[in-house]
Amino acid sequence: MKDMYDVLVIGAGPGGSIAAKTAAEKGLDVLLIEKRQEIGDPVRCAEGVNKEYLKKHIEIDNSWICADLKGSRIFSPNGTKIEMAQEISGGEVGYVLERKIFDRALAEHAAKAGAEVRVKTRATGLIIEDDFVKGARLMHLGKEYEVRAKIVIGADGVESKVGRWAGIDTALKPVDIETCAQYLISGVDIDQEYCEFYIGSELAPGGYIWIFPKGEGKANVGVGLLGSKTGKFKPRPIDYLNRFMEKNFPNASIVEMVFGGVPVSGSIEKTSTNGLMLVGDAARQSDPITGGGILNAMDAGKLAGEAAYEAISAEDVSFGKLEEVYEKRWRETTGYAIDMSLIVKNCFINLGDEDLDALAYSLKEVKFERMRLFDLLQALFKANKKLLWDLRILFKDAAKEVVKNRT
Amino acid sequence: MSININRYKCGYCGACVGVCPKGALELVETWIEVDESMCIQCGICDRICPVGAIEVMK
Ligand SMILES: Cc1cc2nc3c(=O)[nH]c(=O)nc-3n(C[C@H](O)[C@H](O)[C@H](O)COP(=O)(O)OP(=O)(O)OC[C@H]3O[C@@H](n4cnc5c(N)ncnc54)[C@H](O)[C@@H]3O)c2cc1C
Ligand code: SF4
Ligand code: SF4
């Protein structure tokens, strides 16, 4: 078996597969490994993605689309409903995917571009020489062997060890993770054109409950709680989910159970080192507000694939080079976006149920098809002045305008 | 002092691995392995497990 490559990608989620595909398309010799025996399974996702954004990465294939959404509805603790059109609901809705098929399709694209794929193959450690990552130890069917590569890309998800093995501390604090449970339910009458979110301390402290339609009579119903709001003797995500199910879907069949953790930390200090880059959940690149991470992982995978090509062509895979060709680039785009979301998250987790109700109430009347940032800010200002103040960094210019308009 | 993982309850999601400050956990196939020599019994994994499959006793 071949044991030398230009690039070794660890983990075949969306981040890893796009990285492998991009690097292979550039003519690099790529190995993509996945520890699971079935790519994409078990699912750890609610499977919502922004349509337009997804189209930038990949041609849409109906075989992995379950629902095509018009918009979303958010319910505040007292049941006040806000409705938003798809384009402005924050980017994580649009399509609901079948990730088992989607993730596999992405890995196939990588293979088609020339990458070699090995499943049921787990990285158990890195080969580090002269302070450079030079490859990894892999295990397949109980046998361990080494594979060397000029660059290793760690795309190993929330449970990432690759970064840690190279000395990058990616451990998430409880306040930096949403802990989730989800059921795929069937046999229920669910509006297939809207996704729904329920917020409030009773339903989901520091998080929300979601309902994402998945095609005829089916939906992903899940709950995410902020790790800092859970505890050994407190109810867990599965308890909150069961409670919601009993109340809202007592007769539904549960045809799949999903558990998972989503990083909501904002950008971490370091995501590369000599000979190594981290992408996607392994680099904690998911969005702190929505928990969406599919597209961010794909974006980072693409950047890392391109960066691998540039660094290898320049015969310089040092941290300095990777910082220039990968680290800087993702921080300017995704990094900026998730850090802005982190500010919003930190602000919202401190709001009580009455604040959330007041906010929802003042947003109720706004026509959401045409809502602009300006309208949102007016409403925010009406509901809670402090909130606007806390979020001022986000919309410096718009906030000035709102304040000016009121005086 | 000990850490117990109920593998009949665990949904092998990897969340605990992501929060362990010591890198003592690993998700292997469909179960969690603990390196007890690295574990400091901080209990964070117990706290965030969505199903309550981990029990850390101090
Ligand atoms: C309940 C829940 C709901 C979510 N809902 C949404 C949503 O609606 N929209 C959205 O955009 N995002 C959502 N997310 C987040 C999204 O699932 C992730 O951000 C996304 O999957 C990250 O992609 P990735 O490629 O970085 O990692 P992953 O998809 O996690 O892939 C990592 C892969 O690496 C493999 N791996 C790990 N370690 C090793 C190793 N040592 N050797 C070999 N392989 C290894 C894993 O088996 C896995 O296949 C949700 C997450 C959860 C938990
Ligand atoms: S967090 Fe809980 S369910 Fe998830 S892998 Fe760890 S022990 Fe299993
Ligand atoms: S108790 Fe703390 S150190 Fe031990 S495995 Fe759990 S998170 Fe890691």
- Quick: pLDDT tens for A374-393: 666 666 667 667 776 776 66
Cα–Cα distance between A44 and A182 in angstroms, integer? 9
Cα–Cα distance between A251 and A164 in angstroms, integer? 45
* Ligand at shortest distance from the CA of B44: 3
Pocket of ligand 2 (CB under 6 A): A 259; B 5, 10-16, 27, 32, 49-51, 53-54
Cα–Cα distance between A264 and A226 in angstroms, integer? 9
Cα–Cα distance between B32 and B16 in angstroms, integer? 9
Structure tokens at A361: 């109430």
Cα–Cα distance between A109 and A21 in angstroms, integer? 6
Structure tokens at A353: 């149920």
Contact A182, A222 (CB under 8 A): yes
CA of A288 to the centre of ligand 1 (A): 15
Structure tokens at A240: 């909150």
Contact A214, A67 (CB under 8 A): yes
Cβ contacts (< 8 Å) between A179 and chain B: which residues? 15, 48-50
A70-94+174-263: CATH topology is D-Amino Acid Oxidase; Chain A, domain 2 (3.30.9)
- Please answer yes or no on whether B14 and A157 come within 8 Å at the CB atom: yes
Which of B13, B23, B51 lies closest to A236 in CB terms? B51
**Where does chain A hold its CATH 3.30.9.10 domain(s)?**
70-94+174-263
Structure tokens at A306: 């391109």
- Show the beta-strand stretches assigned E in A65-176: 65-68, 71-75, 81-85, 95-97, 116-118, 121-129, 132-140, 143-154
Amino acid (one-letter) located at A142: G
pLDDT values of chain A reduced to their tens digit, one per residue, 407 residues: 899 999 999 999 999 999 999 999 999 999 999 999 999 999 999 999 988 889 999 999 999 999 999 888 889 999 999 887 755 544 445 899 999 999 999 999 999 999 999 999 999 999 999 999 999 999 999 999 999 999 999 999 999 999 999 999 999 999 999 999 999 999 999 999 999 999 999 999 999 999 999 999 999 999 999 999 998 889 999 999 999 999 999 999 999 999 999 999 999 999 999 999 999 999 999 999 889 999 999 999 999 999 999 999 999 999 999 999 999 999 999 999 999 889 888 888 888 999 889 888 877 766 555 555 566 666 666 766 777 677 666 665 555 555 565 54
Residue A292, number of CB atoms within 10 A of its CB: 24
Cβ contacts (< 8 Å) between B14 and chain A: which residues? 44, 157-159, 260-261
Nearest to A218 by CA among A93, A66, A99, A86: A66
Contact A224, A208 (CB under 8 A): yes
CA of B5 to the centre of ligand 1 (A): 22
pTM: 0.94
- Please answer yes or no on whether A158 and B18 come within 8 Å at the CB atom: yes
Nearest to A286 by CA among A312, A260, A313: A260
Quote the DSSP letter at residue A371.
-
Nearest to B55 by CA among B41, B35, B37: B41
Cα–Cα distance between A367 and A82 in angstroms, integer? 10
Nearest to A345 by CA among A262, A227, A266, A230: A266
Q: Angle formed by the axes of helices A373-383 and A396-406, to 10°? A: 60
Give the model's pLDDT for residue A91: 47
Which H or E run contains A239?
Answer: helix A237-248
Quote the DSSP letter at residue B36.
T
* Ligand at shortest distance from the CA of A180: 1
The residue behind tokens 């690149």 is: A285
Amino acid (one-letter) located at A102: F
**CATH code given to domain A4-44+100-172+268-332:** 3.50.50.60
Distance from CA of B1 to the nearest CA of A (A): 16
CA-to-CA dists, residue A403 to A130, A150, A376, B8, angstroms: 57, 54, 13, 57
**Where does chain A hold its CATH 3.50.50.60 domain(s)?**
4-44+100-172+268-332
- Please answer yes or no on whether A238 and B51 come within 8 Å at the CB atom: yes
Cα–Cα distance between A383 and A212 in angstroms, integer? 28
The dihedral through the CA atoms of A224, A227, A228, A231 has a sign that is positive
- State the ipTM, two decimals: 0.97
Q: Is the peptide bond before A42 cis (omega within 30 degrees of 0)?
A: yes
